[in-house]
Amino acid sequence: MATILVADDEANIRDVVQYALERDGHRVVTATNGVEAIARAAEGKVDLAVLDILMPELDGLSVCRQLRARGGLPIVFLSSRAEEVDRILGLELGGDDYVTKPFSPRELATRVKALLRRTQGTLDGSPPEQTLAHGALVMNVPRHEVRVGDDRVALTMMEFAILRALIERPGHVLSREQLMNRCYADDTHVTERTVDTHVRRLRAKLRPLGVDPIETVHGLGYRARELDR
């Protein structure tokens, strides 16, 4: 069971989402605006947040920025605006998925389940998948945890997925399209610029700790550096 924060200023939306998620066995905490959402997240452990973009007090994008400053909490945006620029902006700010209103509650619950599975590993108690290492950097895949020595690095789900895809095969070039296909749901529309944004943020988090595993291969994509043996 996961604890999920649902923040939306429309009571009927909150009720519908809460019902769908609780039916899947999750615990749901709700907020009616952005300020309240930040407070709810600070009260205790939240495994995933569903954020309406157009909320009073503090909009969903601003809430996302503040939550991202604290760690890699998976975030699903809800919005009545379907324009591509809004979708891209939400994903580039660190959102992991974007659902346009009106939406199917079951579809949203399925997306939440998929995000939790990818973030936490399998939810059925099966054995942990693996630990990956690249020099001083160690990835614990089922725990969605990255460490460099004693330092824990807070990554978003997409940052984690991109880093994992690259260091699983050091020296192997992955195009931006391949990374998009590997790390995003089939119906999540992103651009190559979004991948570049995630890579730039990954580097900004890792370089101060003395590790720089990602190389740009101009005209092709990215790869993890091959380490000297």
Q: Which CATH number fits domain 3-120: 3.40.309.10, 3.40.50.2300, 3.40.50.1980, 3.40.50.300?
A: 3.40.50.2300
131-224 maps to which CATH number?
1.10.10.10
Domain boundaries, the chain: 3-120, 131-224
Write the pLDDT tens digit of every residue in 134-185. Answer: 889 999 887 788 999 889 998 888 888 899 989 988 889 999 888 887 776 5
- Does the bond joining 102 to the residue before it have cis omega, within 30 degrees of 0? yes
On the question of pLDDT at 120 being above 70, the answer is: no
30 residue type, one letter: T
Q: Which of 157, 203, 200 is nearest to 182 (CA)?
A: 157
In this predicted structure, which of 105-109, 132-136, 190-194 has the lowest mean pLDDT? 190-194
pTM of the model: 0.62
The DSSP element (H or E) to which 158 belongs, if any, is: helix 157-167
Neighbours of 192 (CB within 10 A): 13
What sign results for the dihedral spanned by CA atoms 30, 38, 71, 92?
A: positive
